[in-house]
Structure 1
Amino acid sequence: MRQVSDKPAAVLPAFATGLKRGVDALLYSSCLVATAATSLTWATFLVWQVHIPFRLALLIFAATLFLYNIDSVLPYKFRQQAVLSERKLWMIRHRRELFGLALGALSVATMLFWLDGWRHLTLFLGHLAAISLLYSCPILKWHGRWRALRDLPLLKVFLIAYVWAAITVWVPALYLSKALTSPVVLVLFGRRFFFILALAFVFDIRDYTKDLLSGTRTFPGIFGIRAAKALALLCLAVSGLLVPPGLAQAHLLILALPTLLTGLIIWFADETRPDYYFALLADGIMVVQFLAVYWVA
């Protein structure tokens, strides 16, 4: 009888362990990040009253999955032993799987790029891919040390915001034959740029000690975490003020919800927060942004 009664108690820890492994795999393999990029791209289509083509959504998802996972398995990153978070340890243990996932995603993205006629945008998309790949790959020798684009003082947050805004706004604009300099595109690009910029400050706060030890000069490292939060909130406010034309007041209230939630994430950000705070909340808020747009569309 004791063995029978002990079974439910034994099942719960096993279920919790399995659930955590699944969540870790979803978050640390960048699947949620890829979903967020696809969701924000879809949100742009919805603002312009068009649903995203499935193959384009798959292309954005696969390309994001490749870029983030190939970045996470760069050899020099595993020599940086200054700060080993749970996320970093998971990536070290699953390095081969992440590399295989990156190659699979690259194959899918390349096939869709070739078959769906994006070759005429090779230079445009290529410069975004180059920034993404060189973001963490050491290319410049400075003060006796090889450095990546992210190591240039104060640059990393702007690179992230630019690439994300370009992919999630300019790619839909080009697909729909909208001029990149048209007001409707510029407003949405600015809104997305400052929204991502605000979130990028959150990840700089997460990496505060690691960046100090590696010599990467970021806003939190130079001006302090409190100043970085103030700048992030300012960027978020600018993003909220750049409203696409034609939205009703009720729609504006719904779209304000993810902005307010993002403000709370920024306010309570701290490098001592668990990895889930950043990998789930800070990345997940981009999906919430999409859901708000989907609701009003």
Structure 2
Amino acid sequence: MRPDSPTPVGAASAGASRRPSRLRRATDALLYSSTWLALAALGLTWATFLFWQTAMPWRLALMIFAATLFLYNIDSVLPYKFQQRLVLSGRKRWMLEHRRELFALALAALAVAATLFFLDGWQPLMLFLGHLAAISLLYSLPLARWRGRWRALRDLPLLKVFLIAYVWAAVTVWIPALYLGKALAAPLVVVLFARRFFFILALAFVFDIRDYTKDRLTGTLTFPGVFGVRATKLVALAALAVASLLLPWGVSAAHLLALTLPALPAAAVIWYADETRPDYYFALLADGIMLLQVLAVWLAALYWG
């Protein structure tokens, strides 16, 4: 067929059917650009302010959203990640095809977060916030060469999930506490931090299950790789149970119910997690559990105070 020949109708229809719909493209962009994840970080921070019945300042909300967007997108475009021996999922393929856009989004988010950081006078907390940023950046950034390969913090055996849980709990509980002038060692702050830590830890195990084959190929020792997928699910459910039992005192029964109800769908997502699940299972459902927690707290605050 000559280059200028018309395309057969059947071939055109087949090509059109293979193209993602607008809704699919928009959903992919929302999930794989880490925008959905940044909204979850923003939402969990807002949930902490709701617990203390205080409005969340919009500039702080924007700073946390932008900082999360920067950290996850800069992580997703690291050059060494695309040199690994991996089976490309739809998510990874999308990221590979949109590396330039993700890098530009990361830089724009960094500019917004840095501007708000300095304008709003967070400099006295530079050391505290700096250690969270350092953990987040060095999580995937190669630090040292060991046995012929560059290693990052995530490559330390079994450490991945604990780093993730610590940073998320620190950002979504400690930052609101500091903004409101509450001591981090105060009993209620400790309970809220521990509850958020174990909640995020339970969900982080789900992503270790997703990355089971990839982590084995790259030599990263995670819970599924060491103890097996079933044992990892049981540990995740145990972490979720601990989070559900760490209930703060002095709140209404309705608020306590709102805090515990999201544990049920979270447990289902954990139990049915498998690396063969579609990308949306992890990006939409597992991350969406965090927003479900926010919705429950917001409804409790709205209707029951």
TM band (smaller chain): over 0.9
Aligned: 1:191 with 2:195: yes
* Structure 2 portions without partners, runs of 5+: 1-12
Alignment partner of 1:141: what SS?
Answer: strand
% identical aligned pairs: 71
Deviations along 1:259-295, one digit per CA (max 9) or x if unpaired, are 1110000000000000000000011111110111111
Match of 1:21 among 7, 18, 25: 25
Alignment partner of 1:146: what SS?
Answer: strand
In structure 1, what is the Cα distance between the partners aligned to 2:187 and 2:300? 21
1:92 corresponding residue in structure 2: 96
TM-score (norm 1): 0.94
Aligned: 1:223 with 2:209: no
1:175 corresponding residue in structure 2: 179
Q: Give 1:163's aligned amino acid.
A: V
Match of 2:266 among 238, 262, 271: 262
In structure 1, what is the Cα distance between the partners aligned to 2:232 and 2:99? 32
2:236 corresponding residue in structure 1: 232
In structure 2, what is the Cα distance between the partners aligned to 1:15 and 1:179? 53
Deviations along 1:31-78, one digit per CA (max 9) or x if unpaired, are 000000000000001111111100000000000000000000000001
In structure 2, what is the Cα distance between the partners aligned to 1:41 and 1:141? 36
In structure 1, what is the Cα distance between the partners aligned to 2:106 and 2:254? 42
Write out aligned runs for 1:231-250 (5 A): 231-250=235-254
1:30 corresponding residue in structure 2: 34
In structure 1, what is the Cα distance between the partners aligned to 2:274 and 2:18? 31
* Structure 1 portions without partners, runs of 5+: 1-8
Worse-matched range after superposition: 141-150 or 109-118: 141-150
Deviations along 1:125-176, one digit per CA (max 9) or x if unpaired, are 0000000000001102222321000000000000000000000000000000
Aligned: 1:153 with 2:157: yes
- TM superposition shift of 1:247: 2.3
Match of 1:283 among 259, 280, 287: 287
Is contact 2:85–2:217 with CA below 8 Å preserved after alignment?
no
- TM superposition shift of 1:116: 0.3
In structure 2, what is the Cα distance between the partners aligned to 1:89 and 1:234? 34
Match of 1:129 among 129, 133, 138: 133
Q: Give 2:58's aligned amino acid.
A: F
Match of 1:69 among 66, 73, 96: 73
Alignment partner of 1:113: what SS?
Answer: helix
- TM superposition shift of 1:246: 1.6
1:273 corresponding residue in structure 2: 277
1:51 corresponding residue in structure 2: 55
In structure 1, what is the Cα distance between the partners aligned to 2:282 and 2:106? 22
In structure 2, what is the Cα distance between the partners aligned to 1:55 and 1:78? 35
2:208 corresponding residue in structure 1: 204
- TM superposition shift of 1:15: 10
Q: Give 2:281's aligned amino acid.
A: Y
Alignment partner of 2:145: what SS?
Answer: strand
In structure 2, what is the Cα distance between the partners aligned to 1:283 and 1:93? 23
Q: Give 1:86's aligned amino acid.
A: G
Deviations along 1:55-110, one digit per CA (max 9) or x if unpaired, are 00000000000000000000000101322100000000000000000000000000
Q: Give 1:37's aligned amino acid.
A: A
